[in-house]
Amino acid sequence: MTRFNQPLGGNDMPRFGGPATMMRLPSQPTAEGLDVAFIGIPMDIGTSNRPGTRLGPRQIRDESRMLRPYNMATGAAPFEHLQVADIGDVPINTFDLKKSVDIITAFYAGVLAHGAIPLTMGGDHTLTWPILRAIRAKHGPVALIHIDAHADINDTMFGEKVAHGCPFRRAWEDDCLINDKVFQIGLRGTGYSPDDFDWGRQHGWTVVQAEDCWHMTLKPLIAGIREKIGDAPVYISYDIDSLDPAFAPGTGTVEPGGLTIWQALELLRGCAGLNIVGGDLVEVSPPYDPSGNTALIGANLLYEMLCVLPGVPQGR
């Protein structure tokens, strides 16, 4: 018998029943007493093409129902070492994006005040900026592992400072990032000019375009990143559109030629040992995901983040 929350098991309740919380974990209204809090941000008003990420948290939770507690690949058993719960959704204002980002920052300040590590189910990528603001208030600037098809460093979109293409520009302006410890992986597609990817480089960021990842394992890449980050606090932001759409069709701004799921797992598993202070999985759009598999993969990637958090031993 364990002292920590456990996911409701398949031998206690069929997997298609039970609470529709993340991994069928207990829910609680705040992060009090938690090591890790799963949080949903049901938002899509920051998206620029297809909508639908507002329903991401609901479907990620729904499709997380198959997840069992033990990681067969890495030997991680996070629920033996961490108190984890689902603390529900941030009540964003779906009619006002600018107010929503402030609601998010305030919500995460509360979570962090309890000492919990937030793992976020998005929602569109706009949400990472307000989370990073809260993270900075507690931890100072952080290293960033940002996996995405897009750089998301536009100064504005349609003249607006707040949108899903701008969060890392805003976070940079707010001194949330340790510039020489920022890593963007998987970028590709079409743009307006080379600056779309070079802006980060000009500020000391490491940008690994998707083409440089094709046909290979990414274990060396993440090993190098791990070394460069050292023991700095690090935030992981995983945009599901970093994956090629073959692996994650249900998203809004699709770019062919992306990462594989094997590379995604290598990257996240390779984060073990880092001082992770938070993470998110964004841009799952259920209306474009009739099988539910994109949400299911999103749930798995969040579980992989959980498995590499500080305090979870690795290995078999």
Span 230-259, contacts to its own copies by CB under 8 A: 244-247, 249-250, 253-257
Q: Does 308 bind its own copies (CB under 8 A)?
A: no
| Residue 185 binds Mn ion, judged by CB under 5 A | no
* Interacting partner of 91 out of Mn ion, its own copies, none (Cβ under 5 to 8 A depending on kind): its own copies
Footprint (CB under 5 A) of Mn ion, residues 54-113: none
Q: Which is nearer to Mn ion, 105 or 154 (CB)?
A: 154
- 174 labeled binding residue: no
Among 70, 203, 204, 224, binds its own copies (CB under 8 A): 70
CB of 76 within 8 A of CB of 308?
A: yes
Tell which one of 42, 118, 186, 233 touches its own copies (CB under 8 A): 42
Q: Is 1 in the site for its own copies (CB under 8 A)?
A: no
85 forms part of the interface with its own copies (CB under 8 A)? no
Residues in CB range of 225: below 8 A, 6 or more apart? 145, 183, 206, 270
In what helix (H) or strand (E) does residue 58 lie, and over which residues does it extend? helix 56-63
Q: CB nearer to its own copies: give 52 or 278.
A: 52
Q: Judged by CB under 5 A, does residue 150 bind Mn ion? A: yes
Residue 34 C-alpha from the chain's centroid = 19
Specify the DSSP class assigned to residue 48.
S
**Distance from C-alpha of 267 to C-alpha of 220, rounded to nearest angstrom:** 9
178 CB neighbour count, 10 Å cutoff: 17
Q: Please, what's the b/e burial string for 184-206 (b: 16 or more CB within 10 A of its CB; e: otherwise)?
A: bbbbbbeeeeeebbebbeeeebb
Distances in Å between the alpha carbon of 70 and those of 19, 75, 83, 221, 306? Answer: 20, 7, 15, 26, 11
Closest CB 141 distance from its own copies, rounded Å:
27
The answer to whether 241 contacts Mn ion (rule: CB under 5 A) is yes
Report how many residues bind Mn ion under the rule CB under 5 A: 7
Q: Which CB, 17 or 204, lies closer to its own copies?
A: 17
Smallest distance, Å, CB 194 to its own copies? 6
Long-range contacts, 204-209 (Cβ 8 Å, 24+): 204/179, 204/180, 205/179, 205/180, 206/182, 207/151, 208/183, 208/184
Say whether 152 counts as a known binding-site residue: yes
148 binds Mn ion (CB under 5 A): yes
| Binding positions for Mn ion, rule: CB under 5 A | 125, 148-150, 152, 239, 241
Return binding residues for Mn(2+).
125, 148, 150, 152, 239, 241
